[in-house]
């Protein structure tokens, strides 16, 4: 299958198209590893998987670990509902991602990388393998990269098996090691003991794609794109009830209203920012901005037009979490099931005082008590819908 055949609409010019990956690798090859870490740290780049952890800091931790070998893992298990930017990046800019991995390897002292590709992107495998081979021929991967005697790095591609939870980095590591994708305990962290118990950096596709761009254009170029608190730009996947769905690059600090105007969704009734794990924003809050402290996002923006039943939306998201919980911890596995039932009852019979108190308490427990991010975030969409759209429930005056 030709990857370009399912290419999404790209709404504006992407920074990725302006950079030659080879240039980024060359700069890293000529630099001391700690300087590479410093550049990425200075740029303010944060993880694009959703949690937003500073990339430079993660690399610095990994660099300081004594274990060996170390691994760089590219999390290409893009599974958050409404995200498709990693697919575009892997289709159009695979060498940028591979360069990002190699530079990460240079920075932390790893010589081996794995790209964990979601099962549903199996058709990209051939395309990516071909790109890897081109990199090896061009010596941007392999031994003594671009002539640097102390810089060797190679990448293999491993396939996921279709579980949403494997986008969670510790579940991804379990899956990579051949077991069921259950989230691990967070101490030790993957940078301390990750893949095969060794220090491991897990970065998202987009995060890694930004890395060679920052190397080439400099950290201040990157930082200048966003706000002082949130430097840089981000790729957004816009879908749902809008005229021009597709992928858009925006600097941090862009307002939701601006984005809705660009995509032709001025009449939106609600916008789900951050996928199923995100929050649902009502029109009164459309001036909020795309910034970590405000509307955090994994890159997914789903627009709901005037005709949508918001509690059907909530039920749909909740159903997703019932299926996609790894099934390990009680607050997530059973909390999501009971929450789904409660939403169903709510849609049928309306909201009672007791019922509302119970679901809020349950949501609280799921948030504070679940083992991993999946369970901790899975009540967010519903709560934001309950907070802003309870008027849509039957019996409400």
Partner 1 sequence: MDSELITVTIDGKEVKVIPGTTVLEAARTAGIHIPTLCHHDDLCSEALYQQTASTPHQGEHSHQHEESAMLSTPSSCRICLVEVEGLPKLHASCALPIHNAMTVRTTSTAIRHARRDILELMMSEHYGDCFACARNGTCELQKLCADYGVTSERFGRPHEPLFEKAEIGNIIVRDQNKCILCRRCVRMCALYQGVYALTTEGRGDHSRIATFMGKEMKDATCINCGQCINRCPTGALTERDDTDAVWHAIEDPDKMVVIQTAPAPRAAIGEMFGCEPGTPLTFQMNTALKRVGFDKVFDTNFSADLTILEEGSELISRLYKALVLKDNTAALPQFTSCSPGWIKFIEHFYPKYLPNLSSAKSPQQMMGAVLKTYFAEKNGWDPSKIVSVSLMPCTAKKFEAARPEMDASGYRDVDYALTTRELGRMFKQAGIELPKLDKTPFDDPFGTPTGSGVIFGATGGVMEAALRTVFEIVTGEKVESVFDHADIKPVRGFDGVRMAELTISKVGPVPEILSHLVPDFEWLKGATLRVGLAHGTVNAIRVMKDIEEGGPLSQCHFIEFMACPGGCLGGGGQPIPTDREIRAARAKAIYSEDATYVVRKSHENEDVLRIYREFFKEGPCSHKSHELLHTHYKERV
What is residue 373's three-state secondary structure?
helix
110 close to 162: Cβ distance less than 8 angstroms: no
Nearest distance from residue 117's CB to partner 1, in Å?
Answer: 19
Phi, psi of 319 (to 5 degrees): -60, -40
Angle subtended at Cα 37 by Cα 31 and Cα 38, rounded to the nearest 5 degrees: 90
Distance CA 43, CA 63 (A): 18
Beta carbon nearer to partner 1, 177 or 309 = 177
Beta carbon nearer to partner 1, 333 or 347 = 333
Largest Cα–Cα separation, the chain: 73
Name, in order, each residue with C-beta under 8 angstroms of 155's C-beta and a sequence gap of 6 or more: 74, 98, 101, 102, 112, 113, 114, 115, 132, 141
Which tokens is 84 given?
């498709």
Task: Output b/e per residue, 202-218; b: 16+ Cβ within 10 A.
Answer: bbbbbbbbbbbbbbbbe
Q: Footprint of partner 1 on this chain (CB under 8 A)?
A: 163, 165, 174, 177, 179-180, 182, 184-185, 187, 196-197, 321-331, 333-338, 358, 361-362, 364-365, 367-371, 376
206 close to 89: Cβ distance less than 8 angstroms: yes
Nearest distance from residue 333's CB to partner 1, in Å?
Answer: 6
Nearest distance from residue 170's CB to partner 1, in Å?
Answer: 10
Which tokens is 336 given?
């999501």
If you ran DSSP here, which 8-state letter would residue 308 be given?
Answer: -
Beta carbon nearer to partner 1, 143 or 358 = 358
Beta carbon nearer to partner 1, 69 or 147 = 69
Beta carbon nearer to partner 1, 271 or 322 = 322
219 close to 232: Cβ distance less than 8 angstroms: no
Beta carbon nearer to partner 1, 147 or 188 = 188
Nearest distance from residue 218's CB to partner 1, in Å?
Answer: 35
Nearest distance from residue 178's CB to partner 1, in Å?
Answer: 8
Nearest distance from residue 325's CB to partner 1, in Å?
Answer: 4
Angle subtended at Cα 125 by Cα 167 and Cα 273, rounded to the nearest 5 degrees: 35
Beta carbon nearer to partner 1, 15 or 318 = 318
Nearest distance from residue 37's CB to partner 1, in Å?
Answer: 23
């Amino acid at each position: 299958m030709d990857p370009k055949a399912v290419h999404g609409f790209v709404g504006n010019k992407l920074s990725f198209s302006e950079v030659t990956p080879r240039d980024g690798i060359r700069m890293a090859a000529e630099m001391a590893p700690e300087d590479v870490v410093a550049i990425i740290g200075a740029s303010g780049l944060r993880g694009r998987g959703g949690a937003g952890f500073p990339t430079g800091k993660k690399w610095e931790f990994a660099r300081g670990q004594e274990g060996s070998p170390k691994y760089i893992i590219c999390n290409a298990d893009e599974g958050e509902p409404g995200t498709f930017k990693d697919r575009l990046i892997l289709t159009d800019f695979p060498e940028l991602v591979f360069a990002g991995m190699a530079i990460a390897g240079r920075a932390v002292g790893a010589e081996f990388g794995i790209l964990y590709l979601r099962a549903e992107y199996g058709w990209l495998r051939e395309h990516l393998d071909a790109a890897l081979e081109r990199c090896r021929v061009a010596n941007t991967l392999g031994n003594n990269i671009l002539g640097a005697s102390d810089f060797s790095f190679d990448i293999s591609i491993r396939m996921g098996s279709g579980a949403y939870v494997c986008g969670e980095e510790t579940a991804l590591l379990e899956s990579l090691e051949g077991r069921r994708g259950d989230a691990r305990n967070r101490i030790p962290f993957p940078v301390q003991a990750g893949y095969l118990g060794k220090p491991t950096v897990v970065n998202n596709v987009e995060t890694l794609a930004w890395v060679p761009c920052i190397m080439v254009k400099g950290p201040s170029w990157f930082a200048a794109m966003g706000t002082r608190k949130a430097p840089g730009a981000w790729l957004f996947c816009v879908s749902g009830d809008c005229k021009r769905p597709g992928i858009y690059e925006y600097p941090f600090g862009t307002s939701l209203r601006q984005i809705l105007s660009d995509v032709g969704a001025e009449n939106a009734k609600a916008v789900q920012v951050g996928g199923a794990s995100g929050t649902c924003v009502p029109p009164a809050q459309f001036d909020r901005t795309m910034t970590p402290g405000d509307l955090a996002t994994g890159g997914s923006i789903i627009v709901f037009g005037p005709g949508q039943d918001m509690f059907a939306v909530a039920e749909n998201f909740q159903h997703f979490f019932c299926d996609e919980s790894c099934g390990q911890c009680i607050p997530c596995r059973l909390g999501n099931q009971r929450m789904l039932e409660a939403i169903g009852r709510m849609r049928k019979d309306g909201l009672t005082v007791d019922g509302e108190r119970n679901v809020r308490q349950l949501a609280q427990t799921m948030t504070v008590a679940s083992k991993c991010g999946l369970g901790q975030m899975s009540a967010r969409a519903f709560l934001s819908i309950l907070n802003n759209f309870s008027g849509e429930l039957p019996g409400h005056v």
